[in-house]
Amino acid sequence: MARGDQLSRQWKIIQALIASRRGRSVPELAEMVDCHVRTVYRDLEALQVAGFPVMTERDGHRMIWSLLDPARHTLPIPLSLPELTALYFGRSLAGVLKGTVFYDALESLFAKIKSLLPADMLELLDRAQESLAVAVAPAKAHAPYRAMIEVVSQAILQRRRLEMVYRAMHGRAETRRRVAPYRLLFFEGSFYILGHCGLRQEIRVFALDRIRKLDLTDETFAAPEGLNIDEFLKSSFGVFHGPPASIKIRFGKEIAGYITEKSWHPSQKVSTRADGSVIFEAEVAGTEEIKHWVLKWGAKAEVLAPASLRQEIRREAEEMMKTYGRGK
């Protein structure tokens, strides 16, 4: 008999044992996989030798075979060293989520994977990890928002509205809102809720760290037909959404290479000028985050369009001049 047929049959036996709460007798398994009972006995013994926690116990006048409960959820999965290394690389990247249920679940997953790996694979993995370095920017502490993240995740999965008290970005004004959450976003070290705001009657983005009170309601909702959240987010320069704008920014030659080599927005177009500077153009939804991006480059960036954004940058620069002109 071909090795592939044997493995296929044994996999079917495992699946049958997983699916059965009380276990299966050998005649039942033989009928399910369409082979002789003696073949099933040999397969069960082979699975035990291979390390599968297959057990047998008497049920009246017959013997029942089953899997130990943990095996129903932790069956060995064949993973190559590059696959395992990639998983551990991802684990390092997920360090920014420390303090959340996502990070804890990931740590639990890796503990289970390691418990199933043979010693030689663990040694190879340790060596592979030494060749990788993941540098992540310092992140805010997420532990204070752990319960909130779990409530939001539950609301999204169960399509239930959230009741929240939300503080505005500028000032201390607080508003009570009922929100249909569509997605939990993680962007540049912070969590956000994207959903339909009942107060404003439009899709909004809410920063978790500005939510003062959050409750899960029993009111359900349905996402509008045709809503494409990925397309919605793609148009933003960041996470916050606003009126559409065509932006045009000149970057000095000192940082032209850095601007050119990175992807900042799906619609971007970058052209190089004779003096070494570059012109950055993009179609975005909202300019609030573009404004902060431009300001961080200081005098090396100049907004050419739209005029409204150029004026905002001018006002910010004037306020900075006042601040730094006071002296100590």
Inter-residue contact 117 to 125 (CB < 8 Å): yes
- Tell me which fold the domain 244-325 belongs to: Alpha-Beta Plaits (3.30.70)
Domain 143-227, classified CATH 2.30.30, yes or no:
yes
The answer, yes or no, to whether residue 144 has pLDDT greater than 70, is yes
Residue 72, pLDDT score: 44
Distance CA 166, CA 163 (A): 10
Average pLDDT taken over every residue of the chain:
83
Query: What digits encode the pLDDT tens for the residues 254-271?
Result: 999 999 998 899 899 999
Per-residue pLDDT tens for 218-239? 999 998 888 888 888 788 888 8
pLDDT band at 117 (very low <50, low <70, confident <90, very high): confident
pLDDT at site 69: 58
Structure tokens of 6?
């044997």
- What are the pLDDT digits (tens) for 62-100? 888 887 654 444 445 566 666 777 777 777 778 788 888
Strand partners, 55: 66
Q: Do domains 3-72 and 143-227 have the same CATH topology?
A: no
Nearest Cα to 189, choosing from 206, 170, 204, 207? Answer: 207
- Region 115-121 average pLDDT: 72
Domain topology for 3-72: Arc Repressor Mutant, subunit A (1.10.10)
Whole-model pTM above 0.85?
no
Domain locations along the chain: 3-72, 81-130, 143-227, 244-325
For 184-187, the CB contacts below 8 A with 24+ separation are: 184/149, 184/152, 184/153, 184/156, 185/233, 185/239, 186/97, 187/238, 187/239
Mean pLDDT, residues 165-190 taken together: 89
